[in-house]
Structures are given as structure tokens and as C-alpha cells.
Amino acid sequence: MTAQTTASGKIAEFNDVFRPSKSLGQEAWSRLVRNKASMFGLVIIVFFIFMAAFASVISPMNPLELHGGKRFLPPPFDQGATNIKAEPEFLLGTDSLGRDTLSRTIYGARVSMVVGFLPTIIILLLGTTVGMLAGYIGGHTDNFLMRLTDVIYAFPDLLFFIIIMVALRDTFIGQFMNGLVLLFAALAIVNWVGVARLVRGQVLSVKQKEFVEAARCIGAKDNRIMLRHILPNCLSPLIVSAAFQIPGLIITEAILGYLGVGLRPATDSASFFITSWGALMLDGQSAINSQPYLLLAPAICVALVVLAFTFLGDGLRDALDPRMRGTQ
């Protein structure tokens, strides 16, 4: 009895002095949670993801329904300069064909969210593989792969996307899923280069470390060293670069849509991707005086999402690498 009390007392004492150990991931997460700006960003991102996923439930109207005779209605709260009478059920007014602006903006979130996340996964996989091989194998392989990235790096990327989208728009792949697949491919082809350079640099510094040497001494194979020992040490910069990659892709999609070479607007209500924010801005451009909300609604959405990702990215960088704090 007495022995037991002493033992549990010792454990309690031990717990007072030594907190339970946290993994690096938990440490980083708790640092991230304390960062107000990042949490604000995260909330906005989650909000838009929900908006994209449940667009059909949230949106007050069918985004494709044409309301004849109700074109360019101003929103009820801002009559503006037009003499067209606003109607209360169209919260943000209507567009040139009498479609509800709010519903179309809500559906637009789908494209931006998908364009932000899916190509990023491809970019990370491709970039990590190439960077890892170049850094680990070295020699001619490294030389060849890095010269390749140099050439792609020199290509003005926005121009490349435009060329690809313009030229291949009417081909089979350009029409597949309203052109989304083609857009993904174009974005991925150019953007993996930055990730590859990042990973290569990281691999070069990590592979000289003692623990890699130790792993090799006990007979670990190259595959195992790369995946189990080197890759985990590249994860922090990879996560941060992904957080900055996503808003870049969303902006690119919006620009392409605005230039009229992005996603094809759907007319079929069965289609999952009805329209994109860029395409909405292109529509709104012509009515900038009479119905500015056509342009403002998607523009504000793009700005909010991009700002949210920047805040999150900044927070992630501080959380994952505290030494970097405040230097950038």
C-alpha cells in the first residue's frame, strides 16, 4: 500500500517536471493554432471548401436558370445609377442573361478549390520525385534534370498556359470535363520545377548528415534511405511551398478565365463545374457601370481566398521552422 502511494507520487512528480513529449508535428500544430492570422485564414479556406462542396444546397437559385426580362438587375441594397428596379430575391442582382449572380459566384468556388488543390498534388509528387533523384543520385542525372528545370524555369509561365489553352481548346483533351483536365496538365507541367529545385537543395544538405551515413552502414537500401530518412526531412519546406502554390494556381485560373481561355462555361445543369470566378469576371466586365457586383463578387472571393492562403502559409512557415520567424 505504502509502496504504491510512493510510486504514484513519484509518477505525479515526474509528470510535473517533464511534460509528455510532443512530436514535431504536434509542436508545429500548437504553434500554428496560436497564430491568429493563420487561424483566420484556415477558417476562410474551410468556409470556401464547404461552399464549393455544398454549392447545390447553399445557392438560392439555379445558376443556369434564365430569368427573362430581369437582366442586369442591381442588388436590393445598392440601387446604383441604373433605373432598373432591384428585386429582393436576387441578393446580388442578375447578369446579362438574367441569371442570379450570387448562385453563380457560389458555384464558381468549385473550380477554384479544385484548381487549387488537385494540380498541387501532382506538382508535389512530380517535383519531389525529380528533385529527390537529382539530389540523391547526382552526377549526370542531376546535371540533365537541372538543365531541364532551368529551361522550363525560363519559360514565362502565364504565356505557356495561354498558348496551351488557346491551341488545344478545341481538341479532344481540351473538351474533356470542360477543359479542366487540360488546365491541370498545363499547370502541372510548369510548376513542378520550383518544387524540384527546393527538394534537390534539401536532399543535398540532408544526405551528408550522420544519420544517413548510419543508415547506410547498417545496410539500408537506397529506396529506404530516400523514403524513410531523407524525405521526412524535406517535408516542412514542401508543406510551406504547397501553401503558397495553391493561391498562385487559383490566381492563374482566374486570369485565364478572365482572358476567356479558361474553363468552358457549362450550359448543361448536370455538369458539376458550372462556371469559374475568372469567367464570371469576364462576363461582368461589360456591365461595370450598371451592375458592378457581377465583377465585384468574384473579385472579392478571389482576393479573400488568396489572402487566406497567404496568412496560412506565413503561419505554417513560422510554425514548421521557428528560426525563420519574422525574417521574411
Partner 1 sequence: MTTYIIRRLLWLIPVLLTVSAVTFVVMRNAPGGPWDTDAERRQVDAATAKSLAAYYGLDKPMWRQFYAYVIGDTNSQTKEWVCGVVCGNLGPSYRQRGRTVQNILFSPPEGKTFWQSRFGYSIRLGVLALSMAIFIGIPLGIIAALKQNTIVDYAALFIATSGISVPSFVLAIFLIIIFASRLHWIDIVVDDWTQIKYWFMPMAVLGFGTLAYTARLTRSSMLEVMRQDYVRTARAKGLAERIVIFIHMLKNALIPVITILGPALAGLVTGSFIIETMFSFPGMGRAYVQAIGQRDYSMIMGTTLVYALLVAVANLSVDIIYVFIDPRIRLEE
Near partner 1 by CB under 8 A: residue from 292, 317, 319, 320: 292
Residue 302 binds partner 1 (CB under 8 A): yes
Cα end-to-end span (Å), the chain: 59
| Cβ distance to partner 1 smaller for residue 57 or 151 | 151
Q: Where are the beta strands (DSSP E) in 86-166?
A: none
Residue 312 binds partner 1 (CB under 8 A): no
Residue 204 binds partner 1 (CB under 8 A): no
Which span sits near partner 1 by CB under 8 A: 16-24, 46-54, 147-155, 213-221? 147-155
Ordered alpha helix ranges (H), 259-292: 277-284
- Interaxial angle between packed helices 157-168 and 231-258, expressed in degrees from 0 to 180 and rounded to the nearest 10: 60
Q: How far is the CB of 160 from partner 1 (least distance, A)?
A: 7
Going residue by residue from 156 to 185, which x/- string records binding to partner 1, judged by CB under 8 A? x-xxx-xxx-xxx-xx--------------
Distance CA 120, CA 123 (A): 5
| Cβ distance to partner 1 smaller for residue 160 or 272 | 160
Q: How far is the CB of 78 from partner 1 (least distance, A)?
A: 10
What 8-state DSSP symbol labels residue 179?
G
Provide the CB-side half-sphere exposure for 303 (13 A, CA): 7
Q: How far is the CB of 274 from partner 1 (least distance, A)?
A: 21
Distance CA 291, CA 216 (A): 67
Residue 326 binds partner 1 (CB under 8 A): yes
Residue 45 binds partner 1 (CB under 8 A): no
Burial 28-40 (b: 16+ CB within 10 A, else e): beebbeebeebee
Residue 328 binds partner 1 (CB under 8 A): yes
Distance CA 98, CA 108 (A): 17
| Cβ distance to partner 1 smaller for residue 46 or 300 | 300
Residue 296 binds partner 1 (CB under 8 A): yes
Near partner 1 by CB under 8 A: residue from 185, 259, 271, 321: 259
| Cβ distance to partner 1 smaller for residue 65 or 150 | 150
Residue 154 binds partner 1 (CB under 8 A): yes
Tell me which amino acid residue 111 is.
V
Near partner 1 by CB under 8 A: residue from 61, 111, 145, 306: 306
Residue 258 binds partner 1 (CB under 8 A): yes
**List of residues 6+ apart from 203 with CB closer than 8 A:** 131, 132, 134, 135, 136, 230, 234
**List of residues 6+ apart from 277 with CB closer than 8 A:** 105, 108, 109, 111, 112, 253, 254, 257, 298, 299, 301, 302
| Cβ distance to partner 1 smaller for residue 260 or 322 | 260
User: Could you tell me how many residues of this chain bind partner 1 (CB under 8 A)?
Assistant: 42
- Interaxial angle between packed helices 293-320 and 101-137, expressed in degrees from 0 to 180 and rounded to the nearest 10: 30
Near partner 1 by CB under 8 A: residue from 299, 316, 319, 320: 299
C-alpha cell of residue 87: 428585386
Catalog residues that contact partner 1 under the rule CB under 8 A.
150-151, 154-156, 158-160, 162-164, 166-168, 170-171, 247, 251, 254-255, 258-261, 281, 288-289, 292, 295-296, 299, 302-303, 306-307, 309-311, 314, 326-328
